[in-house]
Amino acid sequence: MIRKLGFDDKDEVLDFLCVEAAFNLFLIGDIECYGFENENVVFWGSYDDVGKMNGVLLKFHENFIPYFRDSQFDTQEFRDIIGSDIEKRMISGKESIVSGFKDLLNSPKIKSTYFCELNTDEKLMLSKEKSEDRVKMAQPQDAKRVYDLLDKIDEFRDTDTNSVERIRHNIISGSGRVYYIEDSEGRLLTTAQTTAESSSAAMIVAVATLQEYRGKGLMSECLSRLCRDVLAENKTLCLFYDNQKAGSVYHRLGFETIGRWTIMIENKK
């Protein structure tokens, strides 16, 4: 049986998701940030024959995230919901789960990444200058500047998740924060963000440095400051990577690989 979830289901669904809290950071974060009454966020719960929750499906805008733990889980009801949604554009989640939904998207572009976790600051870099002077936290009015930097990076250019509106919303809502380093003329050189922040975890995204300033330690410094501040709030940090060079930096700062995450984006052409 499957049904939409509401406020009265909050404790049950969080207990279910927190068994693998890192992998469910997006779902947990959206529950805490948006609740169950937001038009852009919909949760469904799947239940077994005795009424015990055994799966959760999230729709966030055009993205679906399915989650279950039992390898014998019957995905048909999840497939029916996703397959009938004309807005669907993306399916993401644990690689072992998402691979079973590939046929629901039209010739999808598939990106599989390493999924990492950080829960200690032991290996984080100390700022060479006063951290409060060199690494800054973005305010809502800085969203355009952050977007302009990301738009110069091939990996982030023209992606929905890095629009000016989404960046500004994350800052205002508290669901994310943005740190950056700028030059003497106010041009952003490097940036790192969190998203889907919950009371227990945060996802690192959009770590970017201008091409000509790479290899100078700016990214490590900015990311380290961000991670230290989040860890000081007793939150775990997670991130994805598929670039081995970037991965080596993350591991040097203390991130450990705990699995793989897959994103499948439908080809609308």
- pLDDT tens-place string over residues 7-45: 999 999 999 999 998 899 999 988 988 899 888 899 999
Residue 130 predicted with pLDDT over 90: no
- DSSP 8-state assignment for residue 91: E
Q: How do residues 48-107 score in pLDDT, each as one tens digit? A: 999 999 999 999 999 999 999 999 999 999 999 999 998 889 999 999 999 999 999 999
pLDDT of res. 37: 86
d(CA 4, CA 46): 9
Q: At what angle do helices 143-150 and 164-173 cross, to 10 degrees?
A: 130
CB neighbour list of residue 7: distance below 8 Å, 6 or more residues apart: 35, 36, 37
Mean pLDDT computed over 189-214:
92
Residue 131: band (very low, low, confident or very high) from pLDDT cuts 50, 70, 90: very low
Is the pLDDT reported for residue 127 higher than 70? no
For residues 67 and 75, the answer to whether their CB atoms sit within 8 Å is no
Report the percent of the chain where pLDDT is more than 90.
73
Q: 41: which 2 tokens? A: 């966020």
User: Are 263 and 216 spatial neighbours (Cβ–Cβ below 8 Å)?
Assistant: no
pTM (whole model) above 0.85? no
Set out the domains of the chain in order of their start, with CATH numbers.
2-105 (3.40.630), 117-265 (3.40.630.30)
pLDDT surpassing 70 at residue 198: yes
- pLDDT for 264 beyond 70: yes
Q: How far apart are CA 92 and CA 66, in angstroms?
A: 8
Least confident of 136-140, 161-165, 195-199: 161-165
Q: What is the pLDDT of residues 151-189, one digit of tens each?
A: 998 777 655 556 899 899 889 988 899 999 999 999 999
